[in-house]
Amino acid sequence: DIQMTQSPSLLSASVGDRVTLSCKASQNIYKYLNWYQQKLGEAPKLLIYYTNSLQTGIPSRFSGSGSGTDFTLTISSLQPEDVATYYCYQYNSGPWTFGGGTKLELK
Amino acid sequence: EVQILETGGGLVKPGGSLRLSCATSGFNFNDYFMNWVRQAPGKGLEWVAQIRNKNYNYATYYAESLEGRVTISRDDSKSSVYLQVSSLRAEDTAIYYCTRSRELDYWGQGVMVTVSS
């Protein structure tokens, strides 16, 4: 199985900060990597698919990059509504797997 | 507008069984793979099962942690997907989400399953 490792597990940042979240795969997943945002008490929401494609309706301050085993989600200017847990997910090969999540909070 | 609604959750005794249903609307259900993903209280997300569409012979895939105890199925005439889980254990306690497509692009609000005596 492909293991997905996210870091850090907890991130504190201030409004307006540029924030970078990391996701590493245990083997090559090419670009089959998505990012999801989950706010407290809500279902996850797709932000970025196929590494760097922005889902419809998602603000342009969110962006993704990477390939192979190393991936990044960047929020260019953190907003209060971005407080959430972020998960990466690989769909290159089954069983499909999620990272453990990064909880993003305001400093 | 894509809509996904899960039903069928509740309190089940260890060893029991449960069938979750997921009704969808707002898209051509026949074209899409469908998945179940679960989340134990306070924990992360775990992909559970996928069923592909007719073009892929309705192939099914399961997480190893549940294989043998879970069956995913679909009814294209009802735009619905189902998850049958048997021999339930305390560790199956979770919110179960129904999600669309290989990319998990749309999610329902989830249904809570609690396994407890």
Residues of chain A with pLDDT under 50: none
Give B91-108 pLDDT, tens digit per residue: 999 999 999 999 999 999
Residues whose CB is less than 8 angstroms from the CB of residue B57 and which lie 6 or more positions away in sequence, other chains included: none
Q: Which residue of B has its CA nearest to A96?
A: B47
Task: Give the distance from residue B78's alpha carbon to the nearest chain A alpha carbon, in angstroms.
Answer: 23
CB contact under 8 A, B103 and A94: no
Separation of alpha carbons B57 and B68, rounded Å: 20
Separation of alpha carbons B88 and A86, rounded Å: 29
pLDDT given for residue A94 in this prediction = 84
pLDDT given for residue A5 in this prediction = 98
Q: Which residues of A touch B105 (CB under 8 A)?
A: 46, 49, 55
pLDDT given for residue A86 in this prediction = 98
Task: Kindly tell me if the per-residue pLDDT of B50 is higher than 90.
Answer: yes
Give A66-89 pLDDT, tens digit per residue: 999 999 999 999 999 999 999 999
B9-27 mean pLDDT: 97
Q: Which residues of A touch B47 (CB under 8 A)?
A: 89, 95-98
CA distance readout (Å), A49 to A98, B67, B103: 14, 27, 7
pLDDT given for residue B67 in this prediction = 79
B59-67 mean pLDDT: 92
